[in-house]
Amino acid sequence: MAHPDDQGLRKGLTSYGDTAFSLFLRKAFIKGAGYTDDALDRPVVGICNTASSYNPCHGNAPQLVEAVKRGVMLAGGLPMEFPTISLHESFARPTSMYLRNLMSIDTEEMIRAQPMDSVVLIGGCDKTVPAQLMGAASANVPAIQLVTGSMLTGAHRGERVGACTDCRRYWARFRGGEIAEEEVGAVNNQLVASVGTCSVMGTASTMACIAEALGMTVAGGASPPAVTADRIRVAEQTGARAVGLAQEQLTVDKILTPDAFENALRVLLAIGGSTNGIVHLAAIAGRLGWDIDLEALDRMGRETPVLVDLKPSGAHYMEDFHKAGGMATLLRELKPLLKLDALTVSGRTLG
């Protein structure tokens, strides 16, 4: 596959005086990893890997990376994995919010600095998806979001439990003297029953649903739990689609339009999502020069039904939302209220 000068490995050459020599050097170095000229002539798909031992919400990232690579190669591209900062809510002092913008800068600059025709953003924990969307929006390359997916629920004495609505509930019972130290220790083993993001409609699940509503994931990308075959399949589809995005040069600004943000706000209201979603949407929109109209959000709130009954405000968990059809079911119900002409990373409209 022949490339124009500004694509594939030829993109953004480090300056060593003359262009041909700069490319010659770049290829010499990457060939140290055993690549052939054929591989290096393919569309390059960057894979932003946020795996970290400090981030169990991203504990399935190695399997996701493998599946994304499979998808990229099945579609004829060259996958190139690279690391960025990873943020977990319980492992970021003084607070993860303090580091969200640093992660967005890291993401933006590494997308810009390294040659890639499109990028797969693997995020999940609260601040990571907004940081990646902010960074990709500023870099304005073709980009697609892949979330790690929610954790499974655990069980304590016949009751389902999951982080982190139930964390506070059981801790309050312990502090109130209702349950003993031994029992609260047993609950501690059950609250996070697998890798993946919090199992309630907290910020991570909210941002996953918002990413799909914005058109930044493959259809059905928001809800599969982290450890399911559905999640791995979404990863393979994401990799394959990233090659299409590269070939079509479908940049982020064509997806993240005012209509896309309006759809995201509708979904935020319909899922009873985290209020942090508004803060993050404002930051993502700001990268593209758009404002989030809070008056309009207030109006929309009066006409948008709450369709999802998940903790912390309701009764159920993300895996139940997935089994009930996930975002496809939700978007179908919301159809009269959505901007159906908004373009998605599929290359087709949300409608």
Q: Which stretch binds ligand FES (CB under 6 A): 59-67, 197-205, 225-233, 337-345?
A: 197-205
**Phi, psi dihedrals of residue 349, rounded to the nearest 5°:** -80, 165
d(CA 72, CA 122): 14
Sign (positive/negative) of CA torsion 149, 281, 343, 247? Answer: negative
Binding span for ligand FES by CB under 6 A among 42-50, 198-206, 300-308, 332-340 = 198-206
* Per-residue tokens: 73: 């190669």
Q: CA-CA distance, 339 to 261, in Å (whole number)?
A: 10
Residues 199-218 binding ligand FES (CB under 6 A) are 202, 204
197 interacts with ligand FES by CB under 6 A? yes
Q: Which positions from 246 through 265 interact with ligand FES, judged by CB under 6 A? A: none
Options 57, 216, 250, 283; binder of ligand FES; rule CB under 6 A: 57
Nearest to 237 by CA among 260, 214, 217, 216: 217
Instruction: Give the nearest distance from C-beta 17 to ligand FES in angstroms.
Output: 46
**Strand residue runs (E) in the chain:** 44-49, 78-83, 118-123, 143-147, 154-156, 159-161
Residue 206 exposure: Cα atoms within 13 Å on the Cβ side? 25
Shortest Cβ 43–ligand FES spacing (Å): 32
**DSSP label at residue 272:** T
Q: Does 161 bind ligand FES (CB under 6 A)?
A: no
Least distance from ligand FES to the Cβ atom of residue 194, Å: 13
From the CB of residue 191, how many other CB atoms can be counted at a distance below 10 Å? 20
In the complex with ligand FES, which residue's Cβ is closer, 52 or 263?
A: 52
In angstroms, give the least distance from the CB of 308 to ligand FES. Answer: 17
Contact 61, 148 (CB under 8 A): yes
198 binds ligand FES (CB under 6 A): yes
Stretch that binds ligand FES, among 7-15, 19-27, 134-142, 194-202 (CB under 6 A): 194-202
Among residues 106, 108, 117, 126, the one that binds ligand FES under rule CB under 6 A? 126
Q: How far apart are CA 27 and CA 5, in angstroms?
A: 14
Joined tokens for residue 177: 């003297």
Give residues 72-91 in contact with ligand FES (rule: CB under 6 A): 88-89
- Report, in Å, the least distance between residue 207 CB and ligand FES: 9
Say whether residue 129 binds ligand FES (CB under 6 A): no
Q: Which residues bind ligand FES (CB under 6 A)?
A: 57, 88-89, 125-126, 163, 197-198, 202, 204
